[in-house]
Homo-oligomer: A and B are copies of this chain.
Amino acid sequence: VTTISKDGKHNAAPMGVVRRDDSLLIRMFPGSKTLQNVRDTRVLVANVMPDPMAYVISAFGDLDESMFVLERGLIPPKLKDAWAWAYFTCAVGPSIKLTPVRAHVARTKPPAYSRGFAAVIEAVIVGTRLRFYKDDEGTRKILEYGTIVDKCGAPRDIEAFKKLKEILKID
């Protein structure tokens, strides 16, 4: 999800868009930069990103500014490498309710499941929640995902997982 702050700073963070019947929502962590931006600007862009590295980096820090692209008529930036994006206005409540304004599909493919990609994403999610696990349970879970990445991952998955371990200081 890409957003923009009151003072024009771009942000990206991995988020899940949930569909319940015909409504779309995102549950956001209290205190997140994304939530603050959405409170301030009431807009966001959901990007479909197949590059696992984008999730690793944006979950724990900032994507390089070169990754953001401004689209004519949209306030928040979208991601350069997104295969699809949708621009939403947001109603802020216990969750963020999304109303689609404009969307675009740039690339598609048959949805073949990749265990390596999935393992990177799930490890990133655990990594953002390490404080909720007791002892080293979170770290152990991440290393379990690592065995799947090693076995099934594409080179980019392996690279992204290595970056994740560096960021989290896991080895």
Contacts and interface: CB of A to CB of B under 8 A. Distances in A.
Interface of A: 16, 18-19, 48, 50, 83-84, 105-113, 115, 117-118, 121-122, 125, 152, 154
Given A16-B115, A115-B16, A122-B115, A107 B110 contact: yes
Contacts of A122: 115, 118
14 contacts: A16-B115, A16-B152, A48-B112, A84-B110, A84-B112, A107-B110, A108-B110, A109-B109, A111-B111, A115-B122, A115-B125, A118-B118, A118-B121, A118-B122
B111 A121 contact: no
B115 A48 contact: no
B113 A118 contact: yes
Contacts of A18: 152
Contacts of A115: 16, 121-122, 125
A113 B119 CA distance: 11
A106 B111 CA distance: 11
A16 to B, nearest CB: 6
A154 B20 CA distance: 9
Contacts of A84: 110, 112
Contacts of A110: 48, 83-84, 105-108
Nearest to A84: B110
Contacts of A117: 113
